[in-house]
């Protein structure tokens, strides 16, 4: 296992999009192919989405990102909070887990 202090990663996605991740600490498990991000975890997407939480796991074998700590997220039209989340490989499905709250802004 590798232990990281203040890990930061930038991932280039399809069609020129990107995802940036920051945390206070990270643990990469070589055998399990997982990266656990701990403390002040922030995900920023080039489309303007932002997710804040205290814990997230990136499972490279299963191509999923998930967390079971409270999260807050936002973009131009939606604010949300939840007790956990899961994102599958395609990134098209973002699941809120547990008690969740979503606020959609009025678009004019």
CA distances from 18 to 47, 51, 57, 91 (A): 8, 14, 18, 12
**Residues 25-62: tens digit of each pLDDT:** 999 999 999 999 999 999 998 888 899 999 999 998 88
Q: How many CB atoms lie within 10 A of CB 98?
A: 11
Cα torsion 67, 72, 75, 77: sign: positive
The pLDDT of residue 19:
85
Predicted TM-score (pTM) of the model is 0.84
Q: How many CB atoms lie within 10 A of CB 70?
A: 16
The pLDDT of residue 33:
95
The pLDDT of residue 108:
64
CA dist., res. 92 & res. 69, Å (int):
21
The pLDDT of residue 17:
85
Is a pLDDT exceeding 90 seen at residue 94? no
Question: Any idea what DSSP says for residue 92?
Answer: S
CA distances from 20 to 26, 84, 98, 106 (A): 14, 19, 25, 28
Structure-block tokens of residue 66:
């998930």
């Amino acid at each position: 296992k590798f232990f990281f202090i203040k890990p930061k990663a930038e991932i280039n996605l399809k069609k020129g999009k990107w995802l940036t991740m920051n945390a206070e600490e990270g643990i990469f498990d070589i055998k399990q192919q997982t990266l656990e991000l701990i403390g002040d975890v922030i995900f920023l997407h080039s489309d303007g989405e932002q997710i804040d939480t205290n814990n997230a796991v990136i499972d490279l074998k299963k191509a999923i990102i998930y967390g079971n700590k409270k999260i807050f997220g936002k973009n131009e039209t939606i604010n949300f909070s939840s007790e956990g989340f899961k994102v599958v490989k395609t990134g098209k499905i973002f699941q809120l887990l547990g008690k969740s709250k979503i606020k959609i802004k009025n678009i004019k």
